[in-house]
Structure 1
């Protein structure tokens, strides 16, 4: 028996360059439009036995718009960015360039006073490993950063791999397996 976990990245709440750490903004107009364009490919995932979302407004709204009626999971929250919360990467780099360099170079570093990258990946992985083995499906809508962390954990990749995973809004990926033994499952999406 194994569990199948489909992770859906929440729709956007701002333009990519305007994204802020720990962003609690709701979906923007473009995010709602994009949901309408891709809903037909994602709605079937709502047939999962268990449906979850991260606590952010855009994750909850994305899950609701797709008809998932997801249960909020605090463990799927974005990385705690401490005093950098609400700032863009450009703003932080201008204020604390050495802190940004340390954060990007060392996964155990938390110059912002929040959660380190390693702690974030471990937290999300812990959530994965506590999913019930129901020989069925789970779907979770979460921030792109959470999806990246889950993939790094599932593949047992070095934490630095996190920076090389690009997760676009409303993209979906599936991992299958058992706690501590996950595999990436790439499938064709009906058009």
Structure 2
């Protein structure tokens, strides 16, 4: 047997096109309504032996609303976007188009003065590899969609550029099983009503 870690994406705190880097805004009314609609289907995850969340207000609120009473994990914080914090991708592009192009093209670059994508993926992967527990234990972590995308790239041992082709919907649940250095992505039956699994998709980096 192996550890089972289920990532639950935090409810959205703003419309998708208004998503901001390092967004610290709390859940809005629509976000709360989304949580209430799917709470019944996600509630069984509260039985996990260990329950964690990203430090963002919406991740903590999502976890609490689902009855997880999660423990905040700093290692599950969003990517440090330096001086772009609080901006949308379009706003960053308007201010520094060359820097944004370099950031999207090279996962080792951090033209914003924050954390490179490669470092972000490694940080989240290290958190996953160092989870305590015995074989068969279940862990649940409510995290920002970007954090889950980073975890999936790590689990799949995929090129960092794969990060831009993953789409993790708010309140979706994605499970991985295994242990340090030997994780597998686990697909189960149809997603619960109101949720959608993370999928590979060409599209907007956000």
Classify the secondary structure of the residue corresponding to 1:22: coil
CA distance in 2, matches of 1:90, 1:107: 19
CA distance in 2, matches of 1:72, 1:190: 25
CA distance in 2, matches of 1:90, 1:158: 25
Q: 1:49 to 1:89 in 2, by over 3 A?
A: same
Pairwise CA distance, 1:33: 0.6
1:116-135 aligned within 5 A: 116-135=116-135
Classify the secondary structure of the residue corresponding to 1:148: helix
Structure-1 residue corresponding to 2:89: 89
Structure-1 residue corresponding to 2:200: none
Q: 1:110 to 1:6 in 2, by over 3 A?
A: same
Q: 1:67 to 1:178 in 2, by over 3 A?
A: same
Pairwise CA distance, 1:190: 5.4
Q: Any conservation in 1 of the 2:38–2:192 contact (CA below 8 Å)?
A: no
> Does 1:35 pair with 2:35?
yes
- Runs of 4 or more above 6 Å deviation: none
Classify the secondary structure of the residue corresponding to 1:181: coil
TM, length-normalised to structure 1: 0.98
Structure-2 residue corresponding to 1:164: 165
CA distance in 2, matches of 1:26, 1:73: 17
Unaligned runs of 5+ in 1: none
Moved more, 129-138 or 77-86: 129-138
Q: Any conservation in 1 of the 2:82–2:114 contact (CA below 8 Å)?
A: yes
Unaligned runs of 5+ in 2: 194-206
Q: Any conservation in 2 of the 1:27–1:61 contact (CA below 8 Å)?
A: yes
Pairs aligned (count): 191
CA distance in 2, matches of 1:10, 1:43: 14
Q: Deviations over 1:124-149 (max 9, x none)?
A: 00000001241210000000000000
Q: CA RMSD in A?
A: 0.9
CA distance in 1, matches of 2:112, 2:36: 37
